[in-house]
Amino acid sequence: MPSVFLFLGAMSAFLGVAFGAFGAHGLKTIISPELLVVYKTGVEYQMWHAFGLIAVALMQQHDAQSKLLKWAGFLMFLGILLFSGSLYLLAILNMPALGAITPIGGVCFLIAWSLLIIFSGKKSTHSHRNKKSSRY
C-alpha cells in the first residue's frame, strides 16, 4: 500500500535539497545576507520535517490506523508549507508581512511533534498478543 507520508517526506527532502542549492548558488548575490539566513532557516526546517514525515510513514507500518500518526503527518506537511514556504517568499520577495504566517507553521510543527509524543506513550494493541503462542 502506498504511503502518503513517505511520498510527502521524500518529496519535501528532494525539494529541500533543491531549494538549499538554489539559495546557496542562485540567491547568494541577489538577496541580502540577512534574508539569506531567513531562507536557510526555511530549508533547515523543511529538511528536518521531511525526515519527520518519513518517520511517521515508518511508524504507520506498525499502526496504520492511528489517527495520531495521520494528524501528525498532515500537520507536519502543513507546517512545511506555512513555515518554510513563508520564509522562502519573505526572503525572495523581501516582504516582511509574510512573516505573520510563519508562526502558524511553527504551531503546526509543535502540535505534530506533540501528537508523536502522545503516540509514543500509547500501548501497542499488537505487541504482546501472540507472545504465548511463539516459543522460539
Cβ-based neighbours of 49, under 8 Å, separated by 6 or more: 12, 76, 77, 79, 80, 84, 109, 112
pLDDT of residue 49: 98
Q: Please name the residue that has the C-alpha cell 507520508.
A: 5
Q: Where are the beta strands (DSSP E) in 37-101?
A: none
User: Would you say the pTM of this structure is higher than 0.85?
Assistant: yes
Please report which confidence band the pLDDT of residue 71 belongs to, taking 50, 70 and 90 as the band edges.
Answer: very high
Domain boundaries, the chain: 4-120
| Weakest-pLDDT range from 17-31, 57-71, 77-91, 112-126 | 112-126
Given a cut of 70, whether residue 133 has pLDDT beyond it is no
Closest CA to 88 of 44, 38, 49: 38
**Phi then psi dihedrals of residue 84, to 5 deg:** -65, -45
CB-facing half-sphere around the CA of 74: CA atoms within 13 A: 5
Q: What confidence tier does 56 reach under pLDDT thresholds 50, 70, 90? A: very high
pLDDT of residue 122: 86
